[in-house]
Amino acid sequence: MVDSENFAIADLFSLAGKTALVTGGSSGIGLNLAKGLLINGVRVVIASRKQEKCDEALQELAPLGEVSAFAADVTKPEDRAALLEFCGAKLGSLSILINNAGSNWAAQLQDYPDEGFDKVVSTNLNAVFSLTRDAIPLLELAATEEDPARIINIGSMDGLQVPIVQRVPTFAYSASKAALHHLTRTLAVDLGPKHITVNAVAPGFFASRMTDFVFDKYLSDIEDECPLHRIGRPEELVGIVTYLASRAGSYTNGTVIPVDGGTSVSKGKRDWME
Amino acid sequence: MSLFSLEGKVALITGSTKGIGKAIAEQMAKHGAKVVISSRNQDACDEVAAEIEANGGEALAVACNINYPEQLQALVDATLAKWGKIDALVCNAALNPFFGASQDIPDEAFDKIMRANIGSVHKLCQLVLPGMAKAGGGAVVIVSSIGGLKGTDKLGAYAISKAADMQIARNLAVEWGKDNIRVNCIAPGLIRTDFARALWENPEIYEATVSKYPMRRIGEPEEIAGAAVFLASAAGSFTTGQTIVIDGGGTIAG
């Protein structure tokens, strides 16, 4: 097993020839992950609810590699079925499934509506479970003991700890992401024997449509609470996903990896900046 | 792939003549780093350094017993004398001289484990981090163990030292983040190394062990090395204070 060919740079982190589905792939983190995968030789399908968003993203992605887009609402069973059929036709099999589509609802507790809670949990948790379950046959087609298929769930730092300052309370979001982290572990145990790994990435603050309004008001507070004193850069999520999807990450299973500049291990707003 | 490149960087890896440490050194060299090979035995260090150079890498061999602070100082000094900086510090060397109940461990064995496993990580960081900060930042990777995540009836003191690694990573991540230094742990499960030979060499013991792991196999050293390269490279530049468990899912299944 230990020989120079196996240890080549291109080999350990290589994604060349793999296939991937990225949900929520038309903007923010999902769009950046799709770019990273394409640049590194992965054939990609992105999914997003709105056709025009898909078309816009496709314009940006098409020069980077072999990519197609499918408009689907992953909370709808018929859309999920159509999406997976599309992936089967376009890609043949699925070596990487990135469950990135998510939604959020922010309101104070007394004003937080049931429908807001349901909407967030059904996108961030229920849809991930259903899509993953239904994608198993396509993933199995790509899975081998040597090179397992990979499921990567995009969780959140908010699913690991509750911010000391609840700037914008997001009860459903935090709960759904904590549940997604544990779903990741449960699926990892179940799917390991099928040569499919399941891991989650828990991003801290990265620029996306979801965070713009928070940054407008709270960027300096957010930086103060982060040991690295900044928000994340897009390539820092491409990095962890590349690791998890490549041979380098092929024994990493059932983990939740925070990529948050250390915010979640810090005790809160720091006094050492003075 | 530039995201994982270590071109131009200097990496010091303790315990790097065998197993996980050697795989980390080989991979870091393959990804462009100049590497310092270290373990107690100079001949073993020379041999691994020569292998790496034969494969086109750059390596420096410095024997060091992590039990002795003055030898840790000499290791750091030799590295700085040769290459002038340390961009990645990989604290991998550790020992476990006792196997059995906590009730029975002799004081000397307990002290030795704490001094060697925790003390050397702490001391190396004290010696290396100020210079790393002055040079604009860098990465520390501590090789911990899944032993530090759960209770054990046979490896108690060792497991305490491995849990301490994870707290060192959190503390130093908070203390040094402003200097662009990141500190993380890797917690390997059962990996095909000499250290764990008894658990994988016998097919019956092997099958009994891996039947409890979701992936139904043990890991290879390079599957740990990948995470070390990730953590030391631009790909890992927003990851700090964390412990990355690499055990095929063994811990979450147990």
Contacts of B214 in chain A (CB under 8 A): 188-193, 253-254
Is A226's Cβ below 8 Å from some Cβ in B? yes
B226 close to A13: Cβ distance less than 8 angstroms:
yes
B250 close to A252: Cβ distance less than 8 angstroms:
no
B116 close to B60: Cβ distance less than 8 angstroms:
no
Q: In a mutagenesis test of the A interface, which of B193, B210, B218, B239 is the best target, namely the one with the most A β-carbons within 10 Å?
A: B239
Q: Using one digit for the tens of pLDDT, what is the confidence trace for A68-121? A: 999 999 999 999 999 999 999 999 999 999 999 999 998 999 999 999 999 999
| Listed residue (B154, B151, B152) closest to B99, CA to CA | B154
Grouping H, G, I as helix, E, B as strand and the rest as coil, residue A33 is helix
Q: Using one digit for the tens of pLDDT, what is the confidence trace for A30-75? A: 999 999 999 999 999 999 999 999 999 999 999 999 999 999 999 9
pTM (predicted TM-score)? 0.90
Is A109's Cβ below 8 Å from some Cβ in B? no
ipTM: 0.84
Supply the pLDDT for residue A5.
53
Q: Is pLDDT at B46 greater than 90 in this prediction?
A: yes
Catalogue the active-site residues of B: 158
Is A271's Cβ below 8 Å from some Cβ in B? no
Average pLDDT along chain A: 92
Residue A173 falls in the annotated catalytic set: yes
Q: How far apart are CA A34 and CA A22, in angstroms?
A: 7
Residue A238: which residues within 8 A CB-CB, separation 6 or more?
A32, A33, A35, A36, B3, B235
DSSP class of B192: S
Range B219-233 average pLDDT: 97
* Partner residue opposite B173 with nearest CB, options A2, A193, A265: A265
**Number of Cβ atoms within 10 Å of the Cβ of B181:** 26
pLDDT-wise least confident of A209-213, B120-124, B216-220: A209-213
Supply the pLDDT for residue A166.
60
Angle among Cα B138, B144, B145 to the nearest 5 degrees reads: 150
Range A114-137 average pLDDT: 98
Confirm or reject CATH 3.40.50.720 for domain B2-193+220-249, answering yes or no: yes
Is A169's Cβ below 8 Å from some Cβ in B? no
Supply the pLDDT for residue A269.
57
Q: Is pLDDT at B161 greater than 50 in this prediction?
A: yes
Q: Is pLDDT at A169 greater than 90 in this prediction?
A: no
Percentage of chain B modeled with pLDDT above 90:
95
Q: Is pLDDT at B23 greater than 50 in this prediction?
A: yes
Supply the pLDDT for residue B137.
98
Active-site residue (options: A173, A218, A243, A251): A173
Q: Is pLDDT at A156 greater than 90 in this prediction?
A: yes
Q: Is pLDDT at A7 greater than 70 in this prediction?
A: no
Torsion of CA B168, B87, B247, B192, to 10 degrees: -120
Q: Fold for A9-261, please state it.
A: Rossmann fold (3.40.50)
Grouping H, G, I as helix, E, B as strand and the rest as coil, residue A153 is strand
The verdict on a CB contact (< 8 Å) between B178 and A272 is: yes
